[in-house]
Structure 1
């Protein structure tokens, strides 16, 4: 049976299926619990949360499901923690976004004490709370953190967007590797090579399968039985589905965001750094088009992400699809389901159908 893989056995799930973690507040405990209850691994993107909020989230998840789930964090890139623009640079970035603040009726921000959460405090919270799975992107936690996870019985899953990153993750001793191809929606989690060089899922998975022994989870463009079967044929032992779960009513995406994922415009996605300062794949809209000419001037993450966060939040409240960061993968047009449990059932049954048809050829 295709569901009996090392990924499923390690995760302790009925299916080798992972719900992709969403950053920026798009994750919800309701969605993660629904996926876990249906037989997959629900995930919660917690990089935007304080240590105290991570604790509350884990406790809420444990109240919603007794099955395994994952907490996901972003590992800071080298030099990122110390990144502080000069007052002049900060003001220039604010002025660049000024018309958008004005249009949404927002006050222009002033220089903050910090541009992002304290990663070290976040990790300590994860270690203390002992979620079943700790997943991470944009790098590899320290050897001390990984050893503490092993000692606590926390399964670790790191993300690779190229072969070099997969080899580094295996050398570090992670339990699972998520092979994220360029089709994937949201941020490109590259940390050893430029995000623009990320190969497609169909190129990345077989190359990694030939080089590492760690079980692989394919991510990027996975939306139905055909794409799951392809990932398995290429050497993956599990799949991660993001955009299709983001479109479900249990996610924390706004109504206009979920509607955008089902529109014709979802066929046109591009890599952009205008929202966060890091490359991410999303649907083209007005903000993206009008800011793209200034993309080289945009400050790096986390500064740009901090500056656009109030814009994105206000746009969601006001139903302004044209100003949202509409992260989406290249297979968004395949989205059909509105409930997470129905999507899990569909992926299981459709994959079985496709593999059965192929076996009969």
Structure 2
């Protein structure tokens, strides 16, 4: 099977397989393990401040001299108004009381105690560390940041969940578009509208391929050789995997979280705003059941910041009922092998299926 294409040429890799930038799950070890087998590792910086971003970039560089992407959250930050302050306090009090009723004692921060970081300071850190591949989600970079990164010779990868978003990204000069299917785990990359596009991932991929000229990476539901080849036929040049790596040795999930993951059933996987204020796909639990579709959900990033301490305490108590465990619709065995071995198995399986189908 021929793996080389526009993606491998642009990113200087041998296989157009991309490890998804899963903030809170991705580790420097996972990124390096992916890049060291000539695929593309993705370091999730999320909304870390500049100093912390530099720290994890340098840690990753110590583990690999191969190309890897850094991924940032690009989103608008709603203004703090008196209305938002009142709603925040109301949500804070309710969540603290509900957690206490479930034997989880937390003191969540007030809105004045929050630190909200803009991606603009990360741009400077990324350039200073000479990172040449930047992927982003939740929105589109402003033109000044695009120009600044392009001037630095950076390849830009934007995330879309609709045809309209793909067009916006292409018209902005983004080099590669990651099409995130509805099936994908974790947060939606939607930014043109707050509503989740209802179009299925493969249909979306095919339509985006017909609409834009830039190379496409597909994310959502790839868990074996058959699903990878299906996306290739529909126009994907690159293949992003995330849920497949959740149980890996290098995953940031703790053992009790992986144990819960391996017991998950199809009807337990839901889209929810309850933890962060943005739609994300993960395992339904006590917290989600209580909070979803209530008045206690703030806009992102305030809900995310509010529940951060809750999730930390839940993790310390090994309580999966108040944790966000993100996962896609395609349930798999969540192998505990190394990241490298899981990806190598995927490559081998894809080549075997492709070889048989060519006979």
TM-score, normalised to structure 2's length? 0.94
What are the ranges of 5 or more consecutive residues in structure 1 without an aligned counterpart? none
- Give secondary structure in 2 for the equivalent of 1:117: coil
User: What does 1:120-269 align with in structure 2 at a 5 Å threshold?
Assistant: 120-265=120-265, 268-269=268-269
RMSD: 1.7
The size of the alignment, in residue pairs, is: 356
Q: 2:90 aligns with which of 89, 92, 103?
A: 92
Please give the per-residue CA displacement for 1:141-179, whole angstroms capped at 9, x wherever unaligned.
122211222221211100010101111111111111100
Question: What is the CA–CA distance in structure 1 between the aligned matches of 2:268 and 2:44, rounded to whole Å?
Answer: 25
**Bigger shift: residues 248-257 or 163-172:** 248-257
TM-score, normalised to structure 1's length? 0.94
Partner of 2:314: 315
- Give secondary structure in 2 for the equivalent of 1:157: strand
Partner of 2:347: 348
Please give the per-residue CA displacement for 1:58-81, whole angstroms capped at 9, x wherever unaligned.
11111110001111111113xx24
- Give secondary structure in 1 for the equivalent of 2:36: helix
- Give secondary structure in 2 for the equivalent of 1:335: coil
Shift of 1:100: 4.4
> For the structure 1 residues 87 and 268, does the alpha-carbon distance in structure 2 shift closer, same or farther, using more than 3 Å as the test?
closer
Please give the per-residue CA displacement for 1:96-124, whole angstroms capped at 9, x wherever unaligned.
20134433222243233445223221222
Question: What is the CA–CA distance in structure 1 between the aligned matches of 2:230 and 2:170, rounded to whole Å?
Answer: 23
> For the structure 1 residues 110 and 83, does the alpha-carbon distance in structure 2 shift closer, same or farther, using more than 3 Å as the test?
closer
- Give secondary structure in 2 for the equivalent of 1:222: coil
User: What does 1:282-293 align with in structure 2 at a 5 Å threshold?
Assistant: 282-293=282-293
**Bigger shift: residues 338-347 or 326-335:** 326-335
Shift of 1:265: 2.7
Please give the per-residue CA displacement for 1:229-266, whole angstroms capped at 9, x wherever unaligned.
00100001110001112221202112222222221436
Partner of 1:332: 331
Mapped contact 2:291–2:297 kept (Cα < 8 A): no
Please give the per-residue CA displacement for 1:43-70, whole angstroms capped at 9, x wherever unaligned.
1111231100111111111111000111
Question: What is the CA–CA distance in structure 2 between the aligned matches of 1:317 and 1:156, rounded to whole Å?
Answer: 37
Mapped contact 1:267–1:333 kept (Cα < 8 A): no
